[in-house]
Amino acid sequence: MKAIASKLDNCDCNVIHEDIVADVRAKMPDDETLMNLADLFKVFSDSTRVRILCALQYSELCVCDIAFLLGMTKSAISHQLRSLRQTRLVKYRKDGKSVYYSLDDEHVGNVFEQGLLHVCE
């Protein structure tokens, strides 16, 4: 049954367990969904962003607060807050000269918890 292998032959081998592969393929979410999933985890894959999100779990904070807390420049923090804004993980409100950031997603804490279960043991 080389027919199936030929329709997607970017791979450099033959299928060994044709039936199992077909079964798994049918059960898997589509590629777009898994790509979005990877993109979400990409946001959590940087320690600066993780520390920002973690801090915001305890309190709303302005950019200077976060910069001081993490020992980094306002610019670096602002750059990371930008991607957190774009992925809708944080929201902000302006008050005078300051901009206050807070979490904007109920799932953030859950994702953290599951991750910590793996890290701390």
* Number of residues written out for the chain: 121
Residues in contact with DNA, shown as a per-residue x/- string from 9 to 48 under the rule CB under 7 A: -x--xx-x-------------------------x--xxxx
How many CB atoms lie under 10 A from the CB of residue 15? 14
Q: By CB under 8 A, is residue 37 in contact with its own copies?
A: yes
Q: Decide whether 82 or 98 has the Cβ nearer to its own copies.
A: 98
Closest CA to 101 of 56, 71, 58, 44: 56
Closest CA to 108 of 46, 51, 54, 62: 54
* Listed ranges 1-9, 29-37, 57-65, 111-119: which one lies at the site for DNA (CB under 7 A): 57-65
How many CB atoms lie under 10 A from the CB of residue 21? 13
Concatenating the DSSP letter of every residue in 59-78 gives --EEHHHHHHHHT--HHHHH
Three-state secondary-structure class, residue 25: helix
Q: By CB under 8 A, is residue 117 in contact with its own copies?
A: yes
Q: By CB under 7 A, is residue 100 in contact with DNA?
A: yes
Q: By CB under 7 A, is residue 56 in contact with DNA?
A: no
52 vs 55: CA distance, rounded Å: 5
Residues 44-83 touching its own copies, rule: CB under 8 A, are 44-47, 49-51, 54-55, 58-59, 61-62, 64-65, 67-75
Site of interaction with its own copies (CB under 8 A): 5, 8-17, 20-21, 23-25, 27-29, 31, 33-42, 44-47, 49-51, 54-55, 58-59, 61-62, 64-65, 67-75, 98, 105, 107, 110-112, 114-120
